[in-house]
Structure 1
């Protein structure tokens, strides 16, 4: 099972990148200086030393404790994970982030700010977190603004690391013969068992926003723009009070956009890159709603922007109309007047699924199979009490593009737990084989990059038994 174990380790390594620590950047002349920074621990003060240096990044002694606190907030089971293993993951993260910067990789600032807000709300929803004060304690921050900035840096580092890994494996492909060889290697040690899998389909009806509601959002943005330009009102304050996304807490600040790697929706970047420094745009539409943008500054290829986002208000009439429509669709399904696939193609408003008869695609495997034990909690909650082919009651749902929508779900097929079969499970086996090649490529890259990057491990961590050559055979 050597190849399978290697693949599983690769998957766990990828999961480990989901929570990254805040960074500190040091100059070349500082790399050999073990700075001591006081850190408050309850009523005591402990000197926070430099545990390691990786390229232009340092890892403080406190970073590992903070990593553990954050994983525990998410409910992770750390009973079989050692401190040395977690420290090794920190070293890997910094190595990826350092090399990403060397390779001029740029992250999506808007996405990072939005993700930061979503993560804070997710943390606050955890049963073991008692309000924002708990998060401030975990992150050792004095206020929410500092907390958001640190989490933004965490997400930025995560994105840099992720994009660096993607760059390493981007051109790696696998042939059918390599897949067969991988499968034969698995057979020698015993084939893995795949758990019960389900095919899930849905029909989604989205309440229609009226033209009046759209125009009202546009008019409100125009009024804000006029007040700012003619009366000197604060853009930041209006964003704080009225904007409908996570950037509101930073006065609408989205960070830096770059012409070389804009990574924004087309409508947004078209507006920003046509503006002059200091301009405030007219209202414009994206999938997220209606915006006005203030281009604060242009620094070479970098554009510093803020925005205010308004989403048109849904009327009760529109919501009721959508509810009546999906009730009617469900009745037709119950009476057998139409199949679920036919109803999805005819009535569903979800473009991603309607032309597949409503079937959901598993984002991990890119097929229609969802392993029952690994299904997203949201999907599982919607189908857990359904028999195969049974139509759910009307469900209320929502996302960041459509905060309110109605849904019907059904289980269209069930595949019982079984030993891996080459023909039946080819896509899964191919994915495992490709991950194995990715693992090898990442290992080779990491080995080479460690040797060419300045790395210094201090104190107790020098006695760790790392799987990678972080000590460079010292």
Structure 2
């Protein structure tokens, strides 16, 4: 099957091209050199982004008919992302081409729809679930001080001040070089399996007790000192069972499984693209994998 990519970071204005396809000559911009009509804008956007956006719109519509994502689920997922990236949330939006939080939220919805479609047939045993629960570490609330790799001397100075009893937030504001410094180094709650956090950082943080301060540790981002300010209590198994089951299912997914699930849903929907310019938009997605060629017969003939 040909590789295909569904972009979730298209600007909302580009997605809106589907609504401006009237084909009339109404001018949306007037200049001394001539006007730009809705038809011209639609044509330009279609040429540049048409297939990407059409894929996104159709997949959203097809999956939304079979699966539902509640506002509560979206709120929880958005809160999870914000918790993981902390003060870097606005930077995350900008770097990935999202116009605002609403735009990002729409992409989260599509991501959750794809997740539901892809995990519906995955089974999780009671044994798997209980083992996962027993091994899962509770989230912790952390603060840190971070300096560049070349500044080992500075991190040692900061640690010396902390050892003398100086306030962690005050030392963080004095030494730390990232955006958390203004919040006294606070990174909020972090999860042991958070994908965006450095593994060395997590390994050190989750060894600490509440109110314990680490020795300076080195990661790919520089030198850190970590303080654990709180450790969440583990919720009862029955209360989090469904959530953990979904986590296990998602962990079993790979890109091929997601692609196969989306392909199956689109085939059921019997897509018929009327626009001749976009007629082949779904060909790569719907194309079956070609079976591996058995060349043993050819070799035998040659022998």
User: Which category of TM-score, normalised to the shorter sequence, fits these structures?
Assistant: 0.3 to 0.5
TM-score by length of 1: 0.29
TM-score by length of 2: 0.41
Going by fraction, where is helix more abundant, 1 or 2? 2
Going by fraction, where is strand more abundant, 1 or 2? 1
